[in-house]
């Protein structure tokens, strides 16, 4: 049964890059705090942490290039490329779209929602 956002905040944990790597291949429910006027949404996500750089190698929408990674190589600096290699997304939601936003950091860095002060909380789907 799908938990409410309140249950996830009460019983869940903040999702970090390291924890996402441990949970790879599993489904989790995620949510994050919103502005006072918006109610947080709960999303079911298949955890598949992938860097933006690696995901770009599978994106074939850049016209005139084999993939988005090749397109980025055509204009990005080494520093920008390194940033994309250290920028992760959580995985895919129920619609098959990337979910959880992206972040830059190490294994103990939390994922964030729309703003850096909105950490993503999760509960495992049992």
pLDDT of residue 23: 94
pLDDT of residue 102: 59
DSSP code of 110?
B
Model confidence at 75, in pLDDT bands (50, 70, 90)?
very high
Which has more pLDDT, 113 or 41?
41
pLDDT over threshold 80, residue 24: yes
Q: What is the mean pLDDT of residues 85-111?
A: 75
The pair of structure tokens assigned to 93 is 């939601």
Residue-wise burial string across 4-33, b where 16 or more C-beta atoms lie within 10 A, e elsewhere: ebebbeeebeebbbebbeebeeeebbbbbb
Domain that holds residue 22: 5-124
At a CB cut-off of 8 Å and minimum separation 6, what does 10 contact? none
Three-class SS of residue 31? strand
Structural domains in the chain (count)? 1
Spatial separation of the C-alpha atoms in residues 27 and 47, rounded to whole Å: 6
Parallel/antiparallel/unpaired status of strands 13-14 and 120-124: antiparallel
Q: Of 116, 57, 43, 50, which Cα lies nearest the Cα of 88? A: 50
């Amino acid at each position: 049964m799908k938990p409410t956002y309140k249950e996830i905040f009460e019983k869940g944990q903040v999702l970090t890059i390291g924890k996402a790597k441990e949970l790879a291949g599993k489904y989790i429910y995620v949510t994050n705090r919103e502005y006072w006027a918006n109610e947080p949404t709960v999303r079911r996500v298949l955890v598949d942490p992938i860097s933006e750089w690696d995901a770009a190698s599978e994106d074939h929408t850049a016209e005139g290039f084999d993939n988005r990674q090749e397109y980025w190589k055509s204009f990005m600096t080494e520093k920008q490329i390194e940033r994309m290699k250290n920028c992760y997304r959580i995985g895919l939601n129920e619609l098959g779209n990337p979910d959880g936003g992206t972040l830059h950091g190490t294994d103990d860095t939390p994922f964030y929602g729309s703003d850096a002060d909105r950490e993503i909380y999760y509960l495992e789907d049992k």
